[in-house]
């Protein structure tokens, strides 16, 4: 397998794994609370561009 093809497959595998993890969290109703969401966006607002 060519190097570029291998990298693409590895990236796809990583993304699929993250999506599966997120679905499992959602199935458990494991979502961020309002305070966590607020803190996240406040941190981004303070971050230098």
- Per-residue pLDDT 10s for the chain (49 aa) are 688 788 888 878 889 999 999 999 999 999 999 999 999 999 989 867 5
Is the pTM value of this prediction over 0.85?
no
Domain housing 23: 3-46
Q: What is the number of domains present in the chain?
A: 1
Helix H, strand E, coil C: the string for 8-49 is HHHHHHHHHHHHHHHHHHHHCCCCCCHHHHHHHHHHHHHCCC
pLDDT value of residue 1: 64
Q: Report d(CA 31, CA 6) in Å as an integer.
A: 33
> Residue 5 gets which letter from DSSP?
H
Q: Report d(CA 32, CA 49) in Å as an integer.
A: 25
Encoding tokens for residue 28? 């458990």
């Amino acid at each position: 397998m060519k190097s570029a093809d291998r990298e693409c497959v590895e990236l796809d595998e990583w993304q699929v794994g993250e999506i599966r993890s997120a679905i499992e969290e959602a199935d458990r109703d494991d979502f961020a609370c309002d305070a966590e969401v607020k803190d996240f966006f406040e941190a981004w607002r303070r971050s230098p561009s």
